[in-house]
Chains A and B, each alone.
Chain A
């Protein structure tokens, strides 16, 4: 089945540095990638939607200059957390739609646990 490879699985960084998270669709073309964030004991909250070759659409309250999303190809989308702060510590996870599959065709990456110290 469809697989999305997400890296890194966990990262610890110093406050003020930037962290890049990658999601690759391994055996399908992902025209759309959804980026979610999950705080402890909370739901997955959509941060942004990225479409290959165009600018990402950000949800209300998500700073586009802080969370940079690039979706330059049909198999790769990246999320860069710039100038990270401790409050950005969270579980970040991507999800892609397989172009050829409807309904159940949402595939998730394995998530990235970010800790900012």
Chain B
């Protein structure tokens, strides 16, 4: 079983749509959780951290369920510029490497 598993995608949605990504992680000792965005042939960039209380940043909302070891990302009012691969990422402690999911590709279509 992979440490971090995500929806396989790809997701092709029209502009303005709401899209949700799901992710599960296998290590219950995971401490930190993130969503990263990766554009083609570029480095991943932090989109947002994910907290148990849930957090929102503009059109993006992230949720964490530690009991189910489940993380989600909701994107509202999709823009063309949201087209990218979204990576679910976990970390076990302060100085351990990030563990990446395979990513889910999103294409927002005009």
Residues in A lying within 8 Å of B, measured CB to CB: 32, 34, 36, 42-46, 49, 91, 93, 95, 97, 102-104, 106, 108-111, 113
Contacts and interface: CB of A to CB of B under 8 A. Distances in A.
Contacts, number: 44
Interface residues of B, number: 20
A50 to B, nearest CB: 11
Contact of B44 (A49, A97, A108): A108
| Interface SS of chain A | strand
Interface of B: 4, 32, 34, 41-46, 49, 87, 94-95, 97-103
22 contacts: A34-B97, A43-B4, A43-B100, A43-B101, A43-B102, A44-B44, A45-B100, A95-B97, A95-B98, A97-B95, A102-B94, A103-B32, A104-B34, A104-B46, A106-B46, A106-B98, A108-B43, A108-B45, A109-B43, A110-B42, A111-B41, A111-B42
